[in-house]
Amino acid sequence: MPHVSDCPCQLSIPSDLGMLGVVRAFVEAVCQTGDLDRSITHAIVLATGEAVSNIIRHAHRECPNAQLRVGCRLMAEAMEVVFVDEGQPFDLDNVPRLDPGELRVGGRGVFLMRALMDEVTCEQRQGGGNILRMVKSIRPETQAATA
C-alpha cells in the first residue's frame, strides 16, 4: 500500500476538527490542478471530509496531540488520497455495510466513503496508527457518464 511520502502533494495537520476545512481545500485544489469534473471533485472532497472527521473523532480520541498526514496523487485514470494517523488500530472490514434506508444517527462516515469512492482500504501501520487509502476513478468515460 502506498504511503503519504509516495504522494507528490502532502499536508500534515494537528488532530483538530477546526482543520477540516484546510484538508478539504487542499484536496479540492489538487483536484482542480487536474481539471477534474465538478461532480468527481465534490465526491472526493466529501469522502475526504468524512475520513478526516472519523480519524480525529475516533482514531485520535485518546491522543489529542496526534498528527494527521494527508497525501494526494493525481494519476491519468484515478485520484488517490492517503491518510496516515497515529490512532488505535482500525479494521475497516469490521464496519458493517449499512442499508442506505436505515434510520440512525451517526455511523455513516464509512458508508459515505464507500459510496463516493471506487476503492477504500485501511491497514495498520508498523509502530502504531493506520493508513487509509481512497481511490476515485477519473477516466474520461466515467466523467462523461456523470456529467
- Predicted local distance difference test score (pLDDT) of residue 139: 75
Domain residues of the chain, as ranges?
Answer: 4-146
State mean pLDDT over 72-80.
95
Looking at the chain, the whole-number percentage of residues with pLDDT higher than 70 is 82
The residue with cell 502532502 is: 10
**pTM for this prediction:** 0.85
At the second CATH level, the architecture of 4-146 is: 2-Layer Sandwich (3.30)
SS3 of 80, please? Answer: strand
SS3 of 131, please? Answer: strand
